[in-house]
Amino acid sequence: MSVNKPLSQNDLPYAGIRVVEFTHMVMGPTCGMILADLGAEVIKVEPIDGDKTRNLIGSGAGFFPMFNRNKKSIAVDMKTPAGMELVRKLVSTADVLSENFKPGTMAKLGLDYETLKKINPKLIYVSHKGFLPGPYDHRTALDEVVQMMGGLAYMTGPEDRPLRAGSSVNDIMGGVFGAIGVMAALRQRELTDEGQEIQSSLFENNVFLVGQHMMQYAVTGKAAKPMPSRISAWAIYDVFEVANGEKIFLAVVTDTQWKIFCEAFGFADLYQDPALKLNNQRVQARSTLIPDIKNRLAQLTAKEITTIFEENGLPFAPITRPEQLFEDPHLIATGGLAPITLTDGPKAGTQTSTPLMPLMMNGKRLGIRLNPPKSGEQTQEILKELGYSEDDIRKLSSDGAIA
């Protein structure tokens, strides 16, 4: 399979749209990354010493390079009058402003929607917060906070042991919904010639993600069990330990797949058992059926089982660690990983690859046009575009208003 070439700038749907973002960490930057991948010019306004996300370690070390590709950076000291004047000029040219600071921060700077819409009535203003307006909106939220209070941690861990999901799911999805709001507002602006304010939030996003479990209770009258101890909708839907201690996830989710599974592995006795004929019967028999199948598969290797499942169109999955995905043959063959150069940290200057958005347009992937920017990398370029002369730029730099 040949690698899909990315779309060119001229083919991207939001080419010509300017986004100015005041964001950090994950939620706000995700929104900007999506719009940037779709062709928008996204200008990241950073503090004079750079976005602190650049220097995170541990689980935060991947935040900046993952969510800030295809963006430009301008580093400004917004505590100086000259810096604020520069920022206001920049915002006046924006189609979209994106921010994810604490409630009230942008208002203190005079950069809230009510102030800015007076000078730029077509501005679309998207705020990414912990909570939508209401009794909780004064609280400080994090992904883990809303996972705990929003039912996701309860559903992820074993009973009596809430466990956060293994990714920043609410931060990322909150940014996705922020971007969807921007897209909808851009379309509405075409019809009304007016901008609007959009709000996206972590908590409400988390509630949306667990909505299926809320509705399960509404339909059945029974509270959903955490995923490790839930009553599965399917009999075979589990991780199996096989030969050499390897583990593999296997699923048989229809009666047709049950027939195929039994024939492929020579389990005629199971298929002929009238007590296992239908899926719901097999679900009720899980306590004995799963140990039986685990015992039958125990001497086969994961590779042998993979071959049989793949040949017969049955669902399966290896248990993969994130770092192993850099070598995933499907991602490599389909162009799902794109090259970028790291700009911060001990490996600054190193080329690696990063996952692209999981979609294609016109048969092509949305690629990388710009590496994650160095702090202030495009400051001079953007200032010149705003009408600042070389002398103006030198003075701003010597005064410490820009970096």
Instruction: Grade residue 2 by pLDDT with cuts at 50, 70 and 90.
Output: very low
pLDDT at position 4 is 54
Instruction: Convert the pLDDT of each residue in 238-252 to its tens digit.
Output: 999 999 999 999 999
Active site residue 171: yes
Q: b/e string for 188-217 if b means 16 or more Cβ within 10 A?
A: ebeeeeebbbbbbbbbbbbbebbeebeebe
Instruction: Tell me the pLDDT of the chain averaged across its residues.
Output: 95
> What tens digit of pLDDT does each residue of 381-398 get?
999 999 999 999 999 999
Say whether pLDDT at 1 is over 50.
no
Report the C-alpha gap between 29 and 99 in whole angstroms.
9
- Cβ partners under 8 Å of residue 230, min gap 6: 224
Options 95, 112, 171, 344, the catalytic residue: 171
Report the alpha-carbon distance of residue 291 to residue 195 in Å, rounded.
Answer: 59
What pLDDT is stored for residue 5 in this prediction? 61
Domain-wise residue ranges, the chain: 9-210+328-398, 232-318
Q: What is the dihedral of CA 34, 38, 44, 50, to 10 degrees?
A: 60
| 163 token code pair | 């466990």
Alpha-carbon span 38 to 42, nearest angstrom: 10
pLDDT cut 70: percent of the chain above it: 98
Which pLDDT score, from 0 to 100, does residue 6 have?
66
**b/e map 112-138, b = 16+ CB within 10 Å:** bbeebbeebeebbbbbbbbbeeeeeee
If you average pLDDT over residues 179-190, what whole number do you get?
98
Q: What is the pLDDT of residues 366-385, one digit of tens each?
A: 999 999 999 999 999 999 99
Residue 360 β-bridge partners? 365
Share of the chain above pLDDT 90, in %: 94
Residue 3 has pLDDT above 70, yes or no: no
Distance separating alpha carbons of residues 118 and 28, to the nearest angstrom: 24
Predicted confidence band at 228 (pLDDT cuts at 50, 70, 90)? confident
Q: Name the CATH superfamily housing domain 232-318.
A: formyl-coa transferase, domain 3 (3.30.1540.10)
Amino acid letter, 274: P
Indicate the fold that domain 9-210+328-398 takes in CATH. Rossmann fold (3.40.50)
CB atoms within 10 A of CB 278: 13
| Residue 261: strand, helix, or coil | helix
pLDDT at 231 over 80: no
Structure confidence at residue 271 as a pLDDT band (50, 70, 90)? very high
Amino acid 11: pLDDT: 85
Q: What is the rounded CA–CA span in Å between residue 355 and residue 5?
A: 15
